[in-house]
Amino acid sequence: MPAMTDQQIPSGKLLALGELMSKVAVDRDKTAFAGLFDHYAPLIRAYSLAREPGSDLVADELVQEVMTRVWLKAAKYNPRLANLNTWIFTLARNCRIDYLRRNSRYLTEIDPTDIFNDMEDEGPGPFQLVQQSRAEESIRAGLEELPREQSEILAKVYLEGKSHQQASDELKLPLGTVKSRVRLALKKLEVLVER
Amino acid sequence: MDKLNNHPYGELLASYSAGSLPLSQALCISAHLEHCDSCARKLQRLNRVGTELMQQLTPSKASDDLKNRLLDRLDSLEDETPKHESARVDPSIPRCLRQFVDSSYDDLRWKWVSADIRSVELCRDSNGARVELLKIKPGGSAKTHTHLGDEYTVILEGSFSDEAGLYRKGDFIVRDRHDQHTPVATRDRECICLAVTEGPIQFTGPISRLLNPFLRRGYA
């Protein structure tokens, strides 16, 4: 039997996770849910710790919020429309936005639910399906090729949830440099081109 | 759906995808996305960037205690996501704005700003930005103004033009503190915009400049 390539391992794993997900959605299977927890909870914790290093309590709270939504919204997740990893990423992002809003020093009445709800409940439209798996591979490969100064900024924005201004303060770079590095990275990843 | 000419630039869309934008700006992006398939597709790919970055993190093991507590609670969980859907809501109102607009724009408490303009403040963001709707009567003009901060505008109904071009329903426009502009609504119908202003507007006309101290107070 030929050895599996690097690209095949994650997609095979994703397939297995997809099966767990469907058991959760259709059969309300708690053992399957525990399997999803085992895989995703450590990633969700890592995502939270990227923003607040050392805050185990915050990380656990985010896990609880996200996995609660996975259980409650399982029936709305459509595997044909959205990759499970992406669904989890958007849930984690949305839960973090909620958490930050509730714990902000300055309150706002803006409810983020309806701003970011699309992916949670509907996923992308069917027209995106065809391109999805190819985009997935090219983005993964592209991220590895990025110069460090560009991937560092993407990590600040996506994982630490920093604004361009915060990234500029922390990295002691002019705001314009931060923006242009994001722009260059997005260009290399070809995520903004019209297809 | 007509193809739009004015979109959020890529870095802004990426920050939206990352969840690192102030909610007031995210509100504008969300309103634009409902009108723009092209940006919606870009957003999907930007979400994949976040997904891949998350996958590359070093996993941090969760305790069995956390897992067991959650497993024990599964049967009693209820979806508490707030719903802002009213049966009477005008379907042309973007979903993200239905938390402020129950049924139609007409039912809001519009305030007089000038002969041509009415406004209604929806809320403030935690960074102090003001979120409001502006209504310009057909052919009406907003005074020439600059801003002390950035201004984000999405056209919800009608259209307007300024020195730089014509903007239609769904268009997304950012003006910074250096831009001086005079928007004029087209003559066929009134124009309604979502506007997020990070600092007070500065009127630059010789007489209206006198109004500036009063306007600034709103942001103290």
Same domain, A143 and A111: no
Residues A36 and A100 in one domain: yes
**Rounded to the nearest 5°, which phi and psi values hold at A56?**
-65, -35
Chain A residues touching residue B61 (CB < 8 angstroms): 42, 45
Q: Mean pLDDT across chain A, nearest whole number?
A: 85
- Pair A117, A135 in one domain: no
Residues A69 and A79 in one domain: yes
Token pair of B153 as six digits:
């505008």
Domain boundaries, chain B: 10-55, 102-217
Name every residue whose Cβ is closer than 8 Å to that of residue A71 and which is 6 or more positions away in sequence: A24, A33, B74, B77
Boundaries of domain holding A17 = 1-124
Hey, which residues does B133 pair with through a beta bridge? B120, B194
Question: What are φ and ψ of residue B32, in 5° steps?
Answer: -65, -40
In which element (H, E) is residue A154 found? helix A148-158
Q: Give me the residues paired with residue B154 across strands.
A: B172, B194
Joined together, the tokens standing for residue A11 give 């997609």
Q: How confident is the model at residue A1 (pLDDT cuts 50, 70, 90)?
A: very low
Domain tally, chain A? 2
Q: Do residue A20 and residue A96 come from a single domain? A: yes
Same domain, A137 and A95: no
Same domain, A114 and A132: no
**Smallest Cα distance from B59 to chain A, Å:** 5
Other CB atoms within a 10 A radius of the CB of residue A53 amount to 9
- Which positions of chain B have pLDDT values less than 50? 217-220
Q: What is the pLDDT of residues B156-200, one digit of tens each?
A: 999 998 888 899 999 999 987 777 778 889 888 999 999 999 865
Task: Write out the two tokens for A59.
Answer: 């990380």
pLDDT confidence of residue B208: 66
A88 → chain B, closest CA residue? B51
Give residue B88's pLDDT: 76
Based on the domain organization, do A86 and A14 belong to the same domain? Answer: yes
Domain final residue pick, A124, A147, A164: A124
Same domain, A21 and A114: yes
* Local confidence band at A101 (pLDDT 50, 70, 90 cut-offs): confident
Model confidence pLDDT, tens digit, residues A145-189: 999 999 999 999 999 999 999 999 999 999 999 999 999 999 999
The pair phi, psi for residue A152, each rounded to 5°, is -60, -40
Among candidate residues A124, A140, A160, the one where a domain is terminated = A124
Q: What is the pLDDT of residue A109?
A: 81
Beta bridge partners of B160: B167, B185
CATH fold, domain B102-217, is Jelly Rolls (2.60.120)
Q: What are the DSSP calls for B89-154, one per residue?
A: --TTS-GGGTTT-SS-GGGS--EE-SSSEEEEEEEE-TTS-EEEEEEE-TT-BPPPEEESS-EEEE
Determine, for residues B48 and A107 on separate chains, whether the beta-carbon distance falls below 8 Å: no
pLDDT band at A138 (very low <50, low <70, confident <90, very high): confident
Q: Is A144 on the interface with B (CB under 8 A)?
A: no
Residue ending a domain, among A124, A156, A179, is: A124
pLDDT band at A54 (very low <50, low <70, confident <90, very high): very high
A52 and A106: one domain? yes
B interface test, pick of A38, A49, A114, A179 with most B CB neighbours within 10 Å: A114
Contact B43, B13 (CB under 8 A): yes
Do both A12 and A39 map to the same domain? yes
User: In this structure, are A63 and A118 located in the same domain?
Assistant: yes
Assign residue A134 the CATH number of its domain. 1.10.10.10
A9 confidence band (pLDDT: 50, 70, 90): very low
- Residue A65 belongs to domain with CATH number: 1.10.1740.10
